């Protein structure tokens, strides 16, 4: 596996590196890196293999790669693909999170089992591309200006990818926020309430009361939401079988998975996958 290093690729003054791979015909070997990467599929379709999951990414898909992710690209049938790739030093990412503050769920973005992604509409795609053009227009003559555009671009990307924080508030105990952040990890929510109560610093009764008080739901309901969100992402971006996804999320019953998924998304897992496969940004 290839290990890419920030010192070799990203100018410390600029804090970012940008590449527009047009008509990409080569496919990368498995690699990771000690910096953040955001890429946008601007044309075509490509297989993205990340953390052991093979995703099918279509034009308009924006993906956020963290330093701990291991990934590569593979050809999809006979298609060529275009990728806009922007890499960011960890320092710039930390600055962006600090600037955006607690209004967004940064932990949900950085700690999810799979890299967060979103299928953008035409206007959002154009906005990202305009940022890229402004960076290129300023670089290399004015690195400070290019860096400013890159920071604005990163802020826009994070706001597209990160949903508004739902599991926080001025009166929510710190221990509960910390517990929910830990339980967003796939291996935790897959284990279920056993992990929830084991990791909690208080009794089961107290934890249930606090969840109901602050969020109006039970730990089981909260865990099922994490499982269903992960299942929806896997259905949209991987070729894994529905039974495999069901078990990977922690559901022990396929019929219960179908029932809860249909209630949450208004369609069966197979129907949801079919809709996502035919979606056009």
Q: Do residues 202 and 151 both lie within one domain?
A: no
- What residues make up the domain containing 31? 2-161
Give CA–CA dist 254/121, Å, rounded: 33
65 burial level (CB within 10 Å; 0-12, 13-18, 19+): buried
Q: Do residues 205 and 240 both lie within one domain?
A: yes
Q: How many domains does the chain have?
A: 2
Q: Do residues 96 and 7 both lie within one domain?
A: yes
CATH number for 255? 1.10.10.60
**Beta carbons of 38 and 65 less than 8 angstroms apart:** yes
Give CA–CA dist 259/143, Å, rounded: 54
Q: Please check whether residue 243 lies inside any domain of the structure.
A: yes
**Beta carbons of 228 and 260 less than 8 angstroms apart:** yes
Q: Do residues 7 and 108 both lie within one domain?
A: yes
Domain boundary among 137, 161, 185: 161
Q: Please check whether residue 167 lies inside any domain of the structure.
A: no
Q: Please check whether residue 202 lies inside any domain of the structure.
A: yes
Read off the pLDDT of residues 216-254 as tens digits, 9 standing for 90 and up: 889 999 999 889 888 887 887 777 899 999 999 999 999
Give CA–CA dist 43/84, Å, rounded: 10
pLDDT of residue 150: 92
Q: Do residues 92 and 154 both lie within one domain?
A: yes
Give CA–CA dist 83/44, Å, rounded: 9
Q: Please check whether residue 166 lies inside any domain of the structure.
A: no
Q: Do residues 186 and 126 both lie within one domain?
A: no
Give CA–CA dist 210/135, Å, rounded: 47
The angle at the Cα of 176, spanning 174 to 177, to the nearest 5 degrees, equals: 65
Q: Do residues 45 and 122 both lie within one domain?
A: yes
pLDDT of residue 167: 47
Domain boundary among 112, 129, 161: 161
**Beta carbons of 132 and 84 less than 8 angstroms apart:** yes
CATH number for 102? 2.60.120.280
- β partners of residue 37: 65, 87
Where is mean pLDDT largest: 32-46, 208-222, 260-274? 32-46
Q: Please check whether residue 169 lies inside any domain of the structure.
A: no
Read off the pLDDT of residues 136-170 as tens digits, 9 standing for 90 and up: 888 888 999 999 999 989 988 998 887 544 444 55
pLDDT band at 123 (very low <50, low <70, confident <90, very high): confident
Residue count of the chain, please give it: 281
Largest CA distance in the chain: 62
Domain boundary among 161, 195, 223: 161
Q: Is the pTM of this model over 0.75?
A: no
Give CA–CA dist 204/188, Å, rounded: 17
Q: Is 86 helix (H, G, I), strand (E, B) or coil?
A: strand
């Amino acid at each position: 596996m290839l290990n890419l290093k920030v010192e070799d690729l990203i100018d410390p003054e600029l804090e970012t590196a940008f590449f527009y791979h047009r008509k990409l015909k080569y496919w990368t070997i498995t690699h990771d890196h000690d910096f953040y990467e955001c890429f946008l599929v601007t044309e075509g379709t490509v297989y993205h293999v990340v953390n052991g999951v093979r995703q099918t990414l279509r034009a308009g898909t924006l993906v956020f790669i963290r330093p701990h992710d291991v990934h590569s690209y593979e050809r999809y049938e006979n298609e060529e693909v275009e990728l806009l790739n922007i890499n960011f030093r960890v320092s710039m990412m930390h600055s962006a999170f600090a600037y955006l503050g607690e209004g967004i769920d940064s932990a949900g973005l950085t700690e999810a089992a799979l890299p967060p992604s979103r299928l953008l509409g035409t206007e959002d795609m154009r906005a990202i591309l305009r940022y890229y053009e402004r960076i290129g227009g300023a670089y290399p003559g004015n690195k400070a200006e290019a860096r400013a555009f890159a920071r604005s671009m990163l802020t826009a990307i994070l706001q597209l990818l990160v949903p508004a924080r739902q599991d926080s508030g001025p009166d929510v105990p710190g221990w509960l926020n910390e517990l929910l952040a830990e339980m967003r990890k796939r291996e935790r929510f897959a284990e279920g309430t056993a992990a929830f109560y084991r990791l909690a610093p208080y009794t089961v009764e107290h934890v249930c009361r606090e969840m109901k008080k602050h969020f109006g739901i039970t730990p089981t309901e909260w865990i099922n939401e994490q499982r269903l969100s992960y299942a929806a992402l896997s259905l949209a971006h991987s070729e894994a079988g529905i039974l495999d996804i069901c078990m990977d999320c922690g559901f022990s019953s396929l019929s219960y998975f179908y029932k809860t998924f249909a209630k949450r998304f208004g369609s069966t897992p197979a129907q949801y996958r079919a809709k996502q496969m035919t979606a056009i940004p």
